[in-house]
Amino acid sequence: MITSDEIKRRLWDGANELRGSMDASRYKDYMLGLMFYKFLSDKTIDTFRTILGMGSASK
């Protein structure tokens, strides 16, 4: 079974690999934008599901 520490390590390693030689401050701006887009996507899907009477995905 994968532990919480192993998941954190894998995520950290993946983020470092994606960043490559990009400056950390530029990478931060890029990642914050992606995280915000993900948030908006999740909220939009939840709204559509609520309107259609399918319930929320986060419940």
Give the model confidence (pLDDT) of 19-43 as tens digits.
888 887 887 888 888 899 999 999 9
| Domain contains 51 | yes
CB-based contact 46:56 (threshold 8 Å): yes
> Based on the structure, what is the number of domains in the chain?
1
| Domain contains 58 | yes
Residue 49 CB-density burial (10 A; 0-12 exposed, 13-18 middle, 19+ buried): middle
Q: How confident is the model at residue 59 (pLDDT cuts 50, 70, 90)?
A: very low
| Domain contains 59 | yes
Average pLDDT, the chain: 85
Please compute the mean of the pLDDT values over residues 5-18 and round it to a whole number: 88
Reported pTM: 0.52
Angle (nearest 5°) at CA 58 between 54 and 59: 70
Whether pLDDT at 56 is above 70: no
| Domain contains 17 | no
Angle (nearest 5°) at CA 26 between 21 and 29: 135
Residue 47 belongs to domain spanning: 23-59
